[in-house]
Structure 1
Amino acid sequence: MKTTRRITVLGTTALAGLAFAGAAAAQDDTMTIGITQNNVGVDSYQTTYEQAFENAAAELDNVDTIVLDAGGDVARQIAQIQDLIQQQVDAIIIWPTNGQAVVPAVRQAKQAGIPVVITNSNIAEEGFDFIASFSGPDNITQGSRSAEIMCDRFKEQGIETEAQIVQISGQPGYTTALERAKGFEDRLPEVCPEVTLVETQPGDWNREKSQRVMESFLTKYDDIDGVYAGDDNMGVGALNAAKAAGRAEDITFVGATNFAVGYEAMGRGEYWGSIYQSPVDDAEAALQTAIDVLNGAEVPFLNYFDTPKITQENMEEFDKPVF
């Protein structure tokens, strides 16, 4: 019978009482897959991802899962990985809290003969030799596409030779934040070379913090034509600050993961565009990738799923996000 256990691990001995082992799995052909996530409580995307992961696993008779949440704590996630290694699970899925910091623990899993699938946000390149696959979005492409959305809008407005923008990035040190920023910053001068990115500040994936960041930008800069945010949760925080200051109508807001609040703001004509990404697709792809690896199937090392552009002009082609 399929079992799912959701656990928050505080130390390296916290899973000692769980009786999951690779040897037992081999006897009954049941795969035990452990997942340690970044921070389920930080936003609705991660909450939806976790539920989708559990739902997908529940449909499979031969898969048991151990579902962990690091709560944004790097040390806790490393401890969780080490606990899963000690339990001799068949595979480990990691949504890294920090792509650099988890590399030594991923190496330990590799040395223990346990395949690792990285989900959503990749680890640092020096860890690539220790993982079976990355499953998730191409975050650099997302940032690049967001730059194209922004540039196209400026061209429609006739301000592509003078526009100034600010950027609200995600959590510092977090691979997704770094890659989305890089994709945007590299692509923008290629498509709109005269647009100026005047400043970047982190919003930590948090709407309230991003609103405060935008309030500071509005005080500092009299001329802001565009805001690029690493996801719509932060983008809507920036929108709220601009609305309160009476400046929202003059600013183009573009995100990099379309949340329900971003979709709704697009429908009101307040938010211009984003990148459409499903946490359900994300979770199901990660689980399937781990299963494929365990079954010996050929899996792409970078197993991306598509994330298309969404704007006010084509949003009717997309369902409202569930997160």
Structure 2
Amino acid sequence: MTISIKARIAVTTALVGSVAAGAAAADTMKIGITQNNVGVDSYQTTYEKAFIAAAQANPDIEAVVLDAGGDVARQIAQVEDLIQQQVDAIIIWPTNGEAVVPAVRKAHSAGIPVIVTNSNIAEQGFEFAASFSGPDNITQGARAAEIMCEKFTEMGIETEAQIVQISGQPGYTTAIERAKGFEDRLPEVCPDVTLVETQPGDWNREKSQKVMEAFLVKYDDIDGVYAGDDNMGVGALNAAKAAGRDGIIFVGATNFSVGYEAMERGEYWGSIYQSPVDDAEAALKTALDVLSGAEVPFLNYFDTPKITQENMDQFDKPVF
């Protein structure tokens, strides 16, 4: 839906307590976003750039762009700051799905619609949010389980394979949902495959490499690794390569460029294709739709298809 209001652009990257430079025209839609942790990986960095570009392209928007740096307390303070600025809508990429619920409730009480982006808040906060815009992370985990099972079946080891899982940041909704989707779906498609252990990699490649190094010492037989994103998956792959452990099937989620490149080399089997540009643009569009009074589903998912070595030629290399 096209918004008829016309006003100047004012996109501001700010810290808590800062105010957008210059007074916006009275009819400008002021939209604030507080992100999780822009510097932690290239997905979030690309998301921020895409969000700013989309806001700058719309003359109806003044955007206040904030980053919590992975700090829950800082994100809560940012939401409170946006409420004080009397923004028209708040987009939040939660640092922790449960801990931010009181802040979302406070914005709701102030009459400011909240759009949750990328990773949902805890269910008890759903009544205070206008919509969630992002990927269906449970489906991502389920599709990753299917990719792994299909490969094991092709290899003839579906009745005996053992796998390990490297999950994301503990307490983070995306990490919880991707693990749940995988763990629930795997026994449905490959009931005899054993998940021997799960450890968090915190979305960090170096930490995930160390987690995998420990797995390799502990387990003589590892047939597969499922990682909550390709950044962690490639960390695990690097550990296996350094240890000379060949033949392990690596499957991730959120296909990063490093994962795509590893797939091209034949070292990494599959992942789930997800665009941070689509993610950012969908969040902004959802906020605009809510402000225009359009009917918006609470769970506003965009599709994230399977990508493997067999079909990767159908997908562009990720830009992150």
Aligned to 1:81: 79
Matched residues in 2 for 1:285 and 1:132: separation? 14
Aligned pairs for 1:189-268 (under 5 A) are 189-247=187-245, 249-268=246-265
1:3 and 2:1 are equivalent in the alignment: no
> 8 Å contact 1:116–1:131 — kept in the other structure?
yes
2:117 matched residue in structure 1: 119
CA distance in 2, matches of 1:164, 1:45: 30
Match of 1:128 in 2: 126
Query: Once superposed, what is the RMSD of the aligned Cα atoms?
Result: 1.1
Could you tell me which residue of structure 2 aligns to residue 304 of structure 1? 301
After TM superposition, the structure 1 = structure 2 runs for residues 24-63 of structure 1, keeping only pairs within 5 Å, are 27=26, 29-63=27-61
Q: Is residue 10–residue 20 contact of structure 2 (8 Å, CA) maintained in 1?
A: no
The CA deviation at 1:30 is: 1.1
Q: Partner of 1:177 in structure 2?
A: 175
Question: CA 1:54–1:18 in 2, change beyond 3 Å: closer, same or farther?
Answer: closer
Match of 1:250, SS?
coil
Pairing of 1:89-100 with structure 2 (within 5 A): 89-100=87-98
Structure 1 unaligned runs (5+)?
A: none
Work out the CA distance in 2 between the residues paired with 1:19 and 1:214. 47
Report deviation, 1:20: 8.4
Deviations 1:284-320 (A, max 9, x none): 0000000010000111110000000000000000000
Native 8 Å contact 1:180 1:230 kept in 2? yes
Shift of 1:144: 0.2
Tell me which residue corresponds to 1:287.
284
Contact 1:142 1:183 in 2 (8 A): yes
User: What SS class does the counterpart of residue 196 from structure 2 fall into?
Assistant: strand
In 2, the alpha carbon distance for the partners of 1:209 and 1:113 equals: 41
Give the distance between the partners of 1:125 and 1:258, measured in 2 at CA: 27
Deviation of residue 208 (structure 1)?
0.3
CA distance in 1, matches of 2:184, 2:170: 18
Q: TM-score, normalised by structure 2?
A: 0.96
- Deviation of the 1:8 alpha carbon: 2.8
CA displacement, residues 94-121 of structure 1 (integer Å, 9 cap, x when unaligned) = 0000000000000000000000000000
Letter in 2 for 1:317: Q
Q: Is the 8 A contact 1:31 1:63 kept in 2?
A: yes
CA distance, structure 2, for counterparts of residue 307 and residue 5 of structure 1: 30
CA apart distance, 1:166: 0.2
Distance 1:19 1:56 in 2: 19
The answer on whether the counterparts of 1:92 and 1:117 sit within 8 Å (CA) in structure 2 is yes
Identity, % of aligned positions: 81
Q: Which residue does 1:318 correspond to in 2? A: 315
For 1:213, give the aligned amino acid: V
Amino acid at match of 1:196: T
SS of equivalent residue, structure 1 residue 65 = strand
Q: Structure 1 pair 97/81, CA: closer, same or farther in 2 (3 Å)?
A: same
Asked if the contact 1:100–1:124 (Cα under 8 Å) also holds between the matched residues in 2, the reply is yes
The equivalent residue for 2:166 is 168
Q: What is the alpha-carbon distance in structure 2 between the residues aligned to residue 229 and residue 78 of structure 1?
A: 29
The alignment covers a number of residue pairs equal to 313
Q: Distance in 2 between matches of 1:8 and 1:251?
A: 44
Structure 2 unaligned runs (5+)?
Answer: 1-7
Equivalence map 1:99-114=2 (5 Å): 99-114=97-112
Report the residue type matching 1:31 in the other structure.
M
* Cα distance in 2 for residues equivalent to 1:175 and 1:222: 32
Q: What is the alpha-carbon distance in structure 1 between the residues aligned to residue 293 and residue 22 of structure 2? A: 21
- Alignment-derived partner of residue 278 in structure 1: 275
What is the distance in 2 between the residues matched to 1:265 and 1:184?
Answer: 22
Cα deviation, 1:105-148, whole Å, max 9, x if unaligned, reads: 00000000000000000000000000000000000000000000
Structure 1 letter corresponding to 2:74: R
